[in-house]
Amino acid sequence: MALIKFAGVEESVITREEFPVEKAQEVLKDETVAVLGYGIQGPGQALNLKDNGINVIVGQRKNSKSWDKAIQDGFVPGETLFELEEAADRGTIICYLLSDAAQIEFWPTLEKYLTPGKTLYFSHGFGITYNHQTNIVPSKEVDVVLVAPKGSGTSLRRLFVEGKGLNSSFAIHQDATGNAKDKVAALGIAVGSGYLFETNFKKEVYSDLVGERGSLMGAIQGLFAAQFEVLRAQGHSPSEAFNETVEELTQSLMPLVAENGMDWMYANCSTTAQRGALDWWKKFYDATKPVFEELYQSVKEGNESQKSISSNSKENYREGLNKELEELRNSELWQAGKVVRSLRPDRQYEYEK
Protein backbone atom coordinates (compact mmCIF):
# COMPACT_ATOMS: atom_id res chain seq x y z
CA MET A 1 0.00 0.00 0.00
CA ALA A 2 1.09 3.56 -0.66
CA LEU A 3 1.07 6.26 2.02
CA ILE A 4 -0.42 9.48 0.73
CA LYS A 5 -1.16 12.69 2.60
CA PHE A 6 -4.72 14.00 2.34
CA ALA A 7 -4.87 17.57 3.66
CA GLY A 8 -1.85 16.81 5.84
CA VAL A 9 -3.15 13.47 7.14
CA GLU A 10 -1.28 10.38 5.98
CA GLU A 11 -3.50 7.51 4.77
CA SER A 12 -2.93 4.07 3.30
CA VAL A 13 -4.24 3.67 -0.24
CA ILE A 14 -4.03 1.07 -2.99
CA THR A 15 -3.59 2.37 -6.53
CA ARG A 16 -3.72 0.71 -9.93
CA GLU A 17 -0.03 1.52 -10.39
CA GLU A 18 1.08 -0.63 -7.46
CA PHE A 19 -1.70 -3.21 -7.86
CA PRO A 20 -2.54 -3.51 -11.59
CA VAL A 21 -5.30 -5.71 -12.98
CA GLU A 22 -2.70 -8.32 -13.96
CA LYS A 23 -1.73 -8.72 -10.30
CA ALA A 24 -5.40 -8.98 -9.33
CA GLN A 25 -5.86 -11.73 -11.93
CA GLU A 26 -2.91 -13.63 -10.47
CA VAL A 27 -4.24 -13.37 -6.90
CA LEU A 28 -7.73 -14.50 -7.94
CA LYS A 29 -6.78 -17.08 -10.60
CA ASP A 30 -7.93 -20.07 -8.53
CA GLU A 31 -11.02 -18.39 -7.04
CA THR A 32 -14.65 -18.54 -8.05
CA VAL A 33 -16.26 -15.23 -7.21
CA ALA A 34 -19.98 -15.68 -6.54
CA VAL A 35 -21.92 -12.41 -6.71
CA LEU A 36 -25.11 -12.91 -4.69
CA GLY A 37 -27.71 -10.36 -5.72
CA TYR A 38 -28.11 -8.65 -9.07
CA GLY A 39 -29.87 -5.46 -8.06
CA ILE A 40 -28.04 -2.20 -7.23
CA GLN A 41 -24.34 -3.11 -6.97
CA GLY A 42 -24.42 -6.64 -8.40
CA PRO A 43 -24.53 -5.91 -12.15
CA GLY A 44 -21.72 -3.35 -12.15
CA GLN A 45 -19.39 -5.40 -9.97
CA ALA A 46 -20.11 -8.74 -11.67
CA LEU A 47 -19.66 -7.38 -15.19
CA ASN A 48 -16.48 -5.51 -14.31
CA LEU A 49 -15.03 -8.62 -12.66
CA LYS A 50 -15.97 -10.67 -15.72
CA ASP A 51 -14.45 -8.16 -18.15
CA ASN A 52 -11.28 -8.10 -16.07
CA GLY A 53 -10.84 -11.83 -16.58
CA ILE A 54 -12.02 -13.03 -13.16
CA ASN A 55 -14.00 -16.28 -12.85
CA VAL A 56 -17.35 -14.88 -11.72
CA ILE A 57 -20.77 -16.43 -11.29
CA VAL A 58 -24.05 -14.81 -10.26
CA GLY A 59 -26.56 -16.00 -7.66
CA GLN A 60 -30.13 -14.73 -8.01
CA ARG A 61 -33.66 -15.98 -7.53
CA LYS A 62 -35.21 -17.46 -10.67
CA ASN A 63 -38.25 -15.89 -12.30
CA SER A 64 -37.27 -12.39 -11.17
CA LYS A 65 -36.47 -9.25 -13.13
CA SER A 66 -32.90 -9.43 -11.84
CA TRP A 67 -32.53 -13.02 -13.09
CA ASP A 68 -33.71 -11.92 -16.52
CA LYS A 69 -31.35 -8.94 -16.45
CA ALA A 70 -28.40 -11.20 -15.64
CA ILE A 71 -29.25 -13.32 -18.70
CA GLN A 72 -29.49 -10.19 -20.84
CA ASP A 73 -26.05 -9.18 -19.55
CA GLY A 74 -24.54 -12.46 -20.74
CA PHE A 75 -24.68 -14.76 -17.71
CA VAL A 76 -25.82 -18.26 -18.65
CA PRO A 77 -28.19 -20.32 -16.45
CA GLY A 78 -26.48 -23.47 -15.24
CA GLU A 79 -23.04 -22.19 -16.25
CA THR A 80 -22.49 -18.73 -14.76
CA LEU A 81 -25.97 -18.01 -13.33
CA PHE A 82 -27.46 -20.03 -10.49
CA GLU A 83 -29.95 -19.88 -7.66
CA LEU A 84 -28.53 -18.18 -4.56
CA GLU A 85 -27.83 -21.42 -2.69
CA GLU A 86 -25.96 -23.11 -5.54
CA ALA A 87 -23.90 -20.00 -6.27
CA ALA A 88 -22.96 -19.77 -2.58
CA ASP A 89 -21.94 -23.44 -2.62
CA ARG A 90 -19.82 -23.05 -5.77
CA GLY A 91 -18.16 -19.79 -4.79
CA THR A 92 -14.89 -19.53 -2.90
CA ILE A 93 -15.40 -15.77 -2.56
CA ILE A 94 -18.98 -14.80 -1.72
CA CYS A 95 -19.85 -11.23 -2.67
CA TYR A 96 -22.86 -10.59 -0.45
CA LEU A 97 -24.59 -7.87 -2.45
CA LEU A 98 -28.21 -8.49 -1.51
CA SER A 99 -30.06 -5.56 0.07
CA ASP A 100 -29.50 -5.12 3.81
CA ALA A 101 -32.94 -6.58 4.57
CA ALA A 102 -32.41 -9.51 2.19
CA GLN A 103 -28.99 -10.20 3.73
CA ILE A 104 -30.64 -10.63 7.12
CA GLU A 105 -33.27 -12.97 5.69
CA PHE A 106 -30.82 -15.13 3.73
CA TRP A 107 -28.08 -15.25 6.37
CA PRO A 108 -29.19 -18.48 8.12
CA THR A 109 -29.06 -20.22 4.72
CA LEU A 110 -25.74 -18.70 3.66
CA GLU A 111 -23.92 -19.64 6.87
CA LYS A 112 -23.73 -23.35 6.01
CA TYR A 113 -21.96 -22.56 2.72
CA LEU A 114 -19.24 -20.48 4.41
CA THR A 115 -16.82 -23.34 4.89
CA PRO A 116 -13.30 -22.76 6.29
CA GLY A 117 -11.01 -20.81 3.97
CA LYS A 118 -13.75 -19.07 2.02
CA THR A 119 -14.03 -15.29 1.79
CA LEU A 120 -17.15 -13.30 2.64
CA TYR A 121 -17.17 -9.96 0.84
CA PHE A 122 -19.43 -7.00 1.56
CA SER A 123 -19.88 -3.61 -0.10
CA HIS A 124 -21.53 -2.13 2.99
CA GLY A 125 -20.61 -2.39 6.66
CA PHE A 126 -24.26 -2.57 7.75
CA GLY A 127 -24.70 -6.29 8.44
CA ILE A 128 -21.47 -6.71 10.43
CA THR A 129 -21.55 -3.41 12.33
CA TYR A 130 -25.16 -3.78 13.46
CA ASN A 131 -24.94 -7.54 14.06
CA HIS A 132 -26.89 -7.12 17.30
CA GLN A 133 -29.79 -6.20 15.00
CA THR A 134 -28.97 -8.33 11.93
CA ASN A 135 -27.56 -11.48 13.62
CA ILE A 136 -24.91 -11.64 10.87
CA VAL A 137 -21.90 -13.12 12.70
CA PRO A 138 -19.52 -15.02 10.38
CA SER A 139 -17.47 -18.01 11.47
CA LYS A 140 -13.93 -17.19 12.60
CA GLU A 141 -12.68 -19.60 9.92
CA VAL A 142 -13.52 -17.35 6.95
CA ASP A 143 -12.02 -14.10 5.71
CA VAL A 144 -14.42 -11.16 5.96
CA VAL A 145 -13.60 -8.15 3.79
CA LEU A 146 -15.25 -5.08 2.32
CA VAL A 147 -14.94 -3.07 -0.88
CA ALA A 148 -17.40 -0.17 -1.01
CA PRO A 149 -17.49 1.80 -4.28
CA LYS A 150 -18.32 5.44 -3.62
CA GLY A 151 -21.31 5.51 -5.93
CA SER A 152 -24.00 3.40 -7.53
CA GLY A 153 -23.36 0.19 -9.41
CA THR A 154 -24.56 1.99 -12.53
CA SER A 155 -21.83 4.63 -12.14
CA LEU A 156 -19.24 1.95 -11.38
CA ARG A 157 -20.05 0.18 -14.64
CA ARG A 158 -20.31 3.34 -16.75
CA LEU A 159 -16.95 4.68 -15.58
CA PHE A 160 -15.34 1.27 -16.11
CA VAL A 161 -16.60 1.12 -19.69
CA GLU A 162 -15.25 4.64 -20.23
CA GLY A 163 -11.82 3.49 -19.03
CA LYS A 164 -12.09 5.40 -15.76
CA GLY A 165 -12.79 4.29 -12.21
CA LEU A 166 -14.86 4.97 -9.11
CA ASN A 167 -12.99 5.36 -5.83
CA SER A 168 -13.74 2.71 -3.20
CA SER A 169 -13.03 2.11 0.45
CA PHE A 170 -11.72 -1.24 1.68
CA ALA A 171 -11.59 -2.98 5.04
CA ILE A 172 -10.61 -6.30 6.59
CA HIS A 173 -12.83 -7.54 9.42
CA GLN A 174 -11.33 -11.04 9.69
CA ASP A 175 -8.17 -12.51 8.19
CA ALA A 176 -8.56 -16.23 8.80
CA THR A 177 -6.33 -17.36 5.93
CA GLY A 178 -3.59 -14.76 6.17
CA ASN A 179 -4.35 -13.75 2.56
CA ALA A 180 -7.26 -11.36 3.13
CA LYS A 181 -5.19 -8.27 2.34
CA ASP A 182 -4.18 -9.47 -1.12
CA LYS A 183 -7.68 -10.72 -1.88
CA VAL A 184 -9.44 -7.50 -0.90
CA ALA A 185 -6.94 -5.45 -2.92
CA ALA A 186 -7.39 -7.70 -5.94
CA LEU A 187 -11.17 -7.60 -5.68
CA GLY A 188 -11.19 -3.84 -5.24
CA ILE A 189 -9.10 -3.30 -8.37
CA ALA A 190 -11.00 -5.96 -10.36
CA VAL A 191 -14.43 -4.42 -9.69
CA GLY A 192 -13.20 -1.20 -11.27
CA SER A 193 -11.99 1.02 -8.44
CA GLY A 194 -9.96 4.08 -9.35
CA TYR A 195 -8.09 3.73 -6.06
CA LEU A 196 -8.84 2.15 -2.68
CA PHE A 197 -8.68 3.92 0.67
CA GLU A 198 -8.56 2.10 3.99
CA THR A 199 -11.34 2.12 6.57
CA ASN A 200 -13.15 -0.35 8.84
CA PHE A 201 -16.68 -1.73 8.72
CA LYS A 202 -18.01 0.61 11.40
CA LYS A 203 -16.57 3.78 9.87
CA GLU A 204 -17.76 2.76 6.41
CA VAL A 205 -21.37 2.32 7.45
CA TYR A 206 -21.40 5.41 9.68
CA SER A 207 -20.09 7.65 6.90
CA ASP A 208 -22.31 5.96 4.31
CA LEU A 209 -25.56 6.35 6.27
CA VAL A 210 -24.73 9.96 7.15
CA GLY A 211 -23.85 10.74 3.52
CA GLU A 212 -27.01 9.20 2.10
CA ARG A 213 -29.23 10.99 4.58
CA GLY A 214 -27.11 14.14 4.34
CA SER A 215 -25.33 15.90 1.49
CA LEU A 216 -25.67 13.10 -1.07
CA MET A 217 -29.43 12.67 -1.02
CA GLY A 218 -31.53 13.85 1.92
CA ALA A 219 -30.01 17.25 2.53
CA ILE A 220 -29.66 18.12 -1.14
CA GLN A 221 -33.33 17.33 -1.80
CA GLY A 222 -34.37 19.50 1.16
CA LEU A 223 -32.13 22.31 -0.04
CA PHE A 224 -33.45 22.10 -3.59
CA ALA A 225 -37.09 22.08 -2.45
CA ALA A 226 -36.65 25.02 -0.07
CA GLN A 227 -34.96 27.32 -2.60
CA PHE A 228 -37.34 26.32 -5.40
CA GLU A 229 -40.40 27.03 -3.26
CA VAL A 230 -39.08 30.42 -2.12
CA LEU A 231 -38.47 31.46 -5.72
CA ARG A 232 -41.90 30.24 -6.81
CA ALA A 233 -43.59 32.05 -3.92
CA GLN A 234 -41.92 35.26 -5.07
CA GLY A 235 -43.37 34.93 -8.57
CA HIS A 236 -40.56 33.21 -10.47
CA SER A 237 -41.65 30.72 -13.15
CA PRO A 238 -41.08 26.97 -12.64
CA SER A 239 -38.44 26.87 -15.39
CA GLU A 240 -36.52 29.82 -13.94
CA ALA A 241 -36.75 28.46 -10.40
CA PHE A 242 -35.55 25.01 -11.51
CA ASN A 243 -32.72 26.33 -13.64
CA GLU A 244 -31.38 28.51 -10.84
CA THR A 245 -31.84 25.81 -8.20
CA VAL A 246 -30.85 22.54 -9.88
CA GLU A 247 -29.83 22.78 -13.53
CA GLU A 248 -27.02 25.30 -13.15
CA LEU A 249 -25.67 23.41 -10.15
CA THR A 250 -25.67 19.95 -11.72
CA GLN A 251 -24.80 20.87 -15.30
CA SER A 252 -22.35 23.73 -14.80
CA LEU A 253 -20.98 24.18 -11.29
CA MET A 254 -20.64 20.64 -9.90
CA PRO A 255 -18.58 19.50 -12.91
CA LEU A 256 -16.18 22.35 -12.09
CA VAL A 257 -15.99 21.20 -8.47
CA ALA A 258 -15.37 17.63 -9.62
CA GLU A 259 -12.62 18.80 -11.94
CA ASN A 260 -10.54 20.94 -9.61
CA GLY A 261 -12.36 21.68 -6.35
CA MET A 262 -14.69 24.24 -4.82
CA ASP A 263 -12.12 27.05 -4.85
CA TRP A 264 -11.60 26.56 -8.59
CA MET A 265 -15.34 26.63 -9.18
CA TYR A 266 -15.57 29.90 -7.21
CA ALA A 267 -12.72 31.35 -9.27
CA ASN A 268 -14.62 30.58 -12.47
CA CYS A 269 -17.77 32.39 -11.40
CA SER A 270 -18.52 36.11 -11.52
CA THR A 271 -17.19 38.35 -8.77
CA THR A 272 -20.79 39.01 -7.73
CA ALA A 273 -21.38 35.27 -7.32
CA GLN A 274 -18.12 34.89 -5.42
CA ARG A 275 -19.00 37.71 -3.03
CA GLY A 276 -22.44 36.31 -2.32
CA ALA A 277 -21.18 32.77 -1.79
CA LEU A 278 -18.45 33.88 0.58
CA ASP A 279 -20.93 35.99 2.54
CA TRP A 280 -23.56 33.28 2.87
CA TRP A 281 -21.86 29.88 3.12
CA LYS A 282 -21.17 30.18 6.84
CA LYS A 283 -24.83 30.96 7.52
CA PHE A 284 -25.78 27.69 5.86
CA TYR A 285 -22.98 25.94 7.75
CA ASP A 286 -24.28 27.24 11.08
CA ALA A 287 -27.84 26.24 10.17
CA THR A 288 -27.02 22.70 9.04
CA LYS A 289 -24.15 21.53 11.27
CA PRO A 290 -26.45 20.81 14.24
CA VAL A 291 -28.62 18.69 11.94
CA PHE A 292 -25.59 16.69 10.79
CA GLU A 293 -24.48 16.20 14.41
CA GLU A 294 -27.96 14.90 15.28
CA LEU A 295 -27.87 12.64 12.22
CA TYR A 296 -24.44 11.19 13.09
CA GLN A 297 -25.55 10.43 16.63
CA SER A 298 -28.67 8.67 15.33
CA VAL A 299 -26.50 6.53 13.03
CA LYS A 300 -24.02 5.76 15.82
CA GLU A 301 -26.74 4.72 18.25
CA GLY A 302 -28.28 2.32 15.72
CA ASN A 303 -31.53 4.24 15.34
CA GLU A 304 -31.15 4.64 11.57
CA SER A 305 -30.24 1.00 11.04
CA GLN A 306 -33.23 -0.17 13.06
CA LYS A 307 -35.58 2.11 11.12
CA SER A 308 -34.17 0.70 7.88
CA ILE A 309 -34.50 -2.92 9.01
CA SER A 310 -38.03 -2.41 10.31
CA SER A 311 -39.20 -0.59 7.21
CA ASN A 312 -37.45 -2.69 4.57
CA SER A 313 -38.52 -6.00 6.10
CA LYS A 314 -42.24 -5.34 5.62
CA GLU A 315 -43.96 -7.37 2.90
CA ASN A 316 -45.46 -4.23 1.34
CA TYR A 317 -42.20 -2.28 1.58
CA ARG A 318 -41.89 -1.66 -2.17
CA GLU A 319 -45.45 -0.44 -2.41
CA GLY A 320 -44.93 2.02 0.43
CA LEU A 321 -41.62 3.17 -0.99
CA ASN A 322 -43.15 3.85 -4.39
CA LYS A 323 -45.83 5.99 -2.78
CA GLU A 324 -43.19 8.08 -1.02
CA LEU A 325 -41.16 8.39 -4.21
CA GLU A 326 -44.32 9.43 -6.03
CA GLU A 327 -44.43 12.54 -3.84
CA LEU A 328 -41.02 13.56 -5.18
CA ARG A 329 -41.82 12.53 -8.73
CA ASN A 330 -45.04 14.55 -8.85
CA SER A 331 -43.71 17.63 -7.10
CA GLU A 332 -43.64 20.82 -9.16
CA LEU A 333 -39.86 20.92 -8.68
CA TRP A 334 -39.21 17.61 -10.43
CA GLN A 335 -42.04 17.93 -12.92
CA ALA A 336 -40.37 21.14 -14.07
CA GLY A 337 -37.05 19.31 -14.08
CA LYS A 338 -38.40 16.62 -16.38
CA VAL A 339 -39.17 19.23 -19.02
CA VAL A 340 -35.89 21.14 -18.51
CA ARG A 341 -33.86 17.94 -18.95
CA SER A 342 -35.75 17.05 -22.13
CA LEU A 343 -34.72 20.39 -23.66
CA ARG A 344 -30.99 19.83 -23.22
CA PRO A 345 -29.26 19.79 -26.62
CA ASP A 346 -27.73 16.38 -25.98
CA ARG A 347 -31.11 14.73 -25.43
CA GLN A 348 -32.36 12.71 -28.38
CA TYR A 349 -35.99 12.52 -27.41
CA GLU A 350 -38.65 15.17 -27.90
CA TYR A 351 -40.19 17.36 -25.25
CA GLU A 352 -42.97 15.51 -23.44
CA LYS A 353 -46.08 17.50 -22.65
Percent of the chain exceeding pLDDT 90 equals 88
Q: Which residues contact 171 (CB under 8 A, 6 or more apart)?
A: 125, 145, 146, 184, 198, 199, 200, 201, 203, 204
* Tens-digit pLDDT profile for residues 22-64: 999 999 999 999 999 999 899 999 999 999 999 999 999 998 9
* Tens-digit pLDDT profile for residues 169-225: 999 999 999 999 999 999 999 999 989 999 999 999 999 999 999 999 999 999 999
In this prediction, residue 353 carries a pLDDT of 38
Instruction: Judge whether residue 265 has pLDDT over 60.
Output: yes
| 275/279 Cα distance (integer angstroms) | 6
In this prediction, residue 295 carries a pLDDT of 97
* Confidence band of 110 (pLDDT split at 50, 70, 90): very high
Instruction: Judge whether residue 352 has pLDDT over 60.
Output: no
Catalytic residue among 124, 132, 173, 236: 124
* Confidence band of 351 (pLDDT split at 50, 70, 90): very low
What average pLDDT does the segment 337-348 reach? Answer: 85
What average pLDDT does the segment 312-340 reach? Answer: 91
- Is pTM beyond 0.85? Reply is yes
In this prediction, residue 313 carries a pLDDT of 83
| 124 belongs to the catalytic site | yes
- E strands, the chain, where? 2-6, 9-15, 33-36, 56-59, 81-82, 93-96, 119-122, 143-149, 166-174, 193-198
In this prediction, residue 320 carries a pLDDT of 86
Query: What is the overall mean pLDDT for the chain?
Result: 94
**What Rg value do the Cα atoms of the chain yield, rounded?**
22
User: Would you call 212 helix, strand, or coil by DSSP?
Assistant: helix
| 63/70 Cα distance (integer angstroms) | 11
Q: What is the residue type of 337?
A: G
| 272/257 Cα distance (integer angstroms) | 18
Instruction: Judge whether residue 292 has pLDDT over 50.
Output: yes
* Tens-digit pLDDT profile for residues 63-99: 899 999 999 999 999 999 999 999 999 999 999 999 9
In angstroms, the Cα distances linking 231 to 90, 98, 241, 340 are 58, 41, 6, 17
* Confidence band of 3 (pLDDT split at 50, 70, 90): confident
Instruction: Judge whether residue 349 has pLDDT over 80.
Output: no
